[in-house]
Structure formats: C-alpha cells, structure tokens
Structure 1
C-alpha cells in the first residue's frame, strides 16, 4: 500500500451509542504497528460525527418545525470535532498537530498521524477526506464505517439490494445523487463523490471494526469491501 494512508473513519465506529474503548485501543495498536514497520509511513484520520451528531441534531429538530439545514450541519460538524479530539488523544505522541478543521490549509504534518474533523456546512467529512487526499497526493481513501460493502440500494428499505464488489464513480454517483442534506445516509457523500471522481481517486469502502480485514487492505491481500474508482 501507499506510504500515506487516508482513513475516512465514520462516526459509527469511533463514537457509536456507547464508545468502545477496547476497540479504539486495538485500532491504535494496529495503526501504530503499521507505522513502526516503515518510518516513512504516515496516516491521516478524518473522523465523522456518529451518535453525538445524530442525538444533537435530533434534539434540535425536536425544537423546530422547520430546522435550518446550516444549523444541522454545524451541529454535526461540532460532533466530528469532539470525536476527532478523542482520536487525537488516543493516538498520543504519534499525533503532534492540532485537529484539522480546514483541510484547504494543510499540506504537511509534524507527526506520523494527522487527525481531521468537519470543516463547514454543505458536505460531510467525506469531502474533507478527498481534499486532504488531493493535498497529500494520496491516490486512495479507505472509507471505513459499520458496513461491509456498498449495496445496490439501502438494504433496510429494499429487500432486493445486493452487496457490490466494485463500482465506477459514474455508477456510484447515480446511486447517491448529487445533493447533500445533513445526516444523509450514503456510504460516501454526493459532494465528495463528484470531487473524488474529478481527481480520479479510488475509494475502498469496508467495515472499519473488522481489523483483520483492515489489515488485509493495508497489506494488499484479498479483502471484503467495495472498490469505487475511475470509469
């Protein structure tokens, strides 16, 4: 795999309903071991909002008949920043930089690990991951959440939905659409999709809690997941 890895970590695995500290320790140990094998390796971790975002957005919706989209986005962004600060602390001395909140201003890193959070309304942290991949010239983003593969449709709503091994960006864009709404439930958000497509990036969507499978991805072995890439 590449010397620099971009991990787009869904909030569902960093901050689910109850934060799993054992898992966070195991992930840190795995990432640390990978870094120690080669001193030139680096990691960029972009952290999603998870349960805190959903809960606070739901609370706001409960007070307003017509909640403002921008306010919902800002609530989600603040949740990503809380989760990112937790992840920075977990990574300890490997992470020497402050949590990144504007990916357009970052083109270098002091430590071996850089942690980033949400930037501004209009898209999810997926888009921030794409911007950081562009800045650091990384060709691939690992999009890690609580799903094993991208499905042809939402399996919770469509019983005929099937898991997919690979997709072109054109095929995926047709599935996810072109517009963003706060909390939109897609593996990779539409705005990030268009930017990644323009840049010719690859995205591997996989279950971030399956560390054995994640190891296979890191070391170029057969893995369970969905590859989204250029046509």
Structure 2
C-alpha cells in the first residue's frame, strides 16, 4: 500500500523531545517493510517564530513563506536522522523528486515546496501525484471538529465527515486560530482525486497505527 503521512510541526516539534522522533522512526520503519511511505513534515512553533521575526523586519508574505519552508525542511532532516538508513538520504524538494526517491524503496521525507502552499496542501498534492492509497494527517487534535476544541467545550467531533461539511465550517471561519485542519487547497485536491483521507491526533505516535486500523480519528468522505 502507498501511504502519505503528514506530521504537523505542532506534533513533532511540540517540545523538541528526541523520544518522540525515535518513537515515530520505529513505527515508520516497521510500516515501510510492507508499505511504500512518504512523509511531509510541518513547521510548527519554530516556523511561526521565524516568520514572526521576519515579518517584523519587513519581509513580505512570499519571503515569510520561504522562511517557513526552510524550517519544515530542517524538521524533516531531524526525522531523517532518526530514521537512519531507512530514509532516503535527501529531503525531497518537489513532487518529482519524491516519486523518484521512492524507487529506492526507502522512506521519502519532504517539507514545504513553494510559497502559498501549506504542508497540508503539499501532502494532498503528493498523495495525488504518487497515486497513494491513503493520506493520513497527524495533527494536534483528535480529528475534525465543527470548531476549535481547545477553545470551545461544546465542539462536536466527527468520526466521519464529508468535504462539503468541512468547507462549510471553513467558510464560517470557525476554525481560525490554532485549530489545525486541512486547508481549502488540500480539500480541493482530496475531493477531485477521491483520496482516502484520515485525520488523527499525532501527539501519541502509536495513533499512526491506530488510525490505519480505523480505531481513532476522522475519516473524510470526498464528496
């Protein structure tokens, strides 16, 4: 099976704990024995801090995006180190490289690709590009809610949700702030290609295995 996994920077870089990198590395190595794996890494807090500093120095939004991309690639290099020989030795900078590197049968890792594309969008486009069987988004919440569960106690969790419902919530701007989910570009790609998408909390690396078994997270129905 071809699996594309997005690991949010807020998950992997939350406390800069090497234990979390090692736990993910072990799980990913085991998965790669039977599946072809691609991983997209987000920027998290380090990216936000660099972007905020750049913006205060007068950087435009494209320059800020470029800095964010650099940070995602640094995060990707850390996971590559944790994976050792199981990972392809270079960080893929675009989708063509990601596909080419996968011919090695090693785990392929990448960060951002270009300005105005979130790593959610990168993961969705990558899944489409390599014809993945499943796309998994590991974020800092348990799955999809109708509003930020960190701010609202009455936030409703969806074990299954349509893309049209997700877009409805996005249009209502209920997800602003820290609530992380797939952005519009990513949702459009998933919808047009009918990609199987699951969203789950990645703070516990074992949830990667659980979401593959359908035990946790949200399943997104591409309608």
The reply to whether TM is greater than 0.5 is yes
Partners of 2:32 and 2:107 within 8 A in 1: no
Q: Distance in 2 between matches of 1:205 and 1:87?
A: 20
Q: Does 1:44 align with 2:41?
A: no
Structure 2: any 5+ residue segments left out of the alignment? none
Match of 2:23 in 1: 26
Deviation digits for residues 95-115 of structure 1 (CA, Å, limit 9, x no counterpart) = 224111112454331132000
Match of 2:83 in 1: 91
Give 1 or 2: higher helix fraction: 2
Q: Does 1:145 align with 2:139?
A: yes
Query: C-alpha displacement at 1:19, in angstroms?
Result: 0.8
Give the CA RMSD over aligned residues.
2.2
Match of 1:6 in 2: 4
Q: Distance in 1 between matches of 2:217 and 2:112?
A: 25
Deviation digits for residues 155-205 of structure 1 (CA, Å, limit 9, x no counterpart) = 3444432111111111112222499xxx98531121111111111112111
Q: 2:126 aligns with which of 118, 128, 132?
A: 132
Partners of 1:144 and 1:208 within 8 A in 2: yes
Match of 2:158 in 1: 164
Q: Distance in 2 between matches of 1:151 and 1:62?
A: 33
Query: C-alpha displacement at 1:134, in angstroms?
Result: 1.5
Structure 1: any 5+ residue segments left out of the alignment? none
Partners of 1:8 and 1:129 within 8 A in 2: yes
Matched residues, number:
218
Query: C-alpha displacement at 1:117, in angstroms?
Result: 1.0
> Using a 3 Å threshold, how does the CA distance of structure 1 residues 35 and 139 change in structure 2: closer, same or farther?
closer
Q: 2:217 aligns with which of 205, 211, 225?
A: 225
In the TM superposition, structure 1's runs of 4+ consecutive aligned residues that sit over 4 Å from their partners are none
Q: Distance in 2 between matches of 1:135 and 1:197?
A: 14
Deviation digits for residues 90-138 of structure 1 (CA, Å, limit 9, x no counterpart) = 1111122411111245433113200011011112011111122122211
